[in-house]
Amino acid sequence: MSLSSYRSPFSEQTHDHSLCIIEALEIANKLCTQRGARLTPLRRQVLELIWQSHKSLGAYKILEKLQNTQGGRAAPPTVYRALDFLLKQGLIHRIASLNAFIGCLHPDSPHVGQFFICQTCGNTAELEAPHLHADLLQQAHQLGFKVEKSTIELMGVCPHCQSLVSL
């Protein structure tokens, strides 16, 4: 029940992103139902806004978009509360180095997010790299350190943007 991974975030031009959005919302629905969590219209709308692209989106951008559709009524806490819910349900991740939020690619299995963020186009890919995480945990173990949360964010240039530069 994971999002299809054959659609690379770095080829937004060449994949049908509407499928990403539909899948993400479907999975969110299923997971919340299973857990007895309430994916209210507001929370669903925020999740949908975040999934508009594979770029991370700041809280105040979300607020702006909400106001455009809702009729100017939303305030910051509205957005942050919805974000908190989505974070707790594992439906989105926070990108600490950008103060922004992005849809999770595999919200059904608890995991640590590892992100590759293109500095040029902003598209962001979430990686599954279990052995990498295992390495980190081993390092931690040697130190006697108990890891509870990890932030791994690599900034750089995606293949698509590299090909544009070399033209």
Q: Which residues bind DNA (CB under 7 A)?
A: 37-38, 40-43, 58-61, 70, 73-78, 80-82, 85, 99-100
Q: What is the 3-state secondary structure (H, E, C) of 58-111?
A: CHHHHHHHHHHHHCCCCCHHHHHHHHHHHHHCCCEEEEHHHCEEEECCCCCCCC
**83 to 122: interface string for a copy of itself, x by CB under 8 A:** -------------xx----------------x-x-xx---
Alpha carbon distance 118, 25 (integer Å):
25
Cβ of 142: how many Cβ atoms within 10 Å?
Answer: 8
C-beta closer to a copy of itself: residue 64 or 135: 135
Stretch that binds a copy of itself, among 34-42, 43-51, 57-65, 145-153 (CB under 8 A): 145-153
Of the candidate residues 34, 60, 84, 145, the single one contacting a copy of itself (CB under 8 A): 145
73 lies in the site for a copy of itself, by CB under 8 A: no
- Whole-number CA gyration radius for the chain: 17
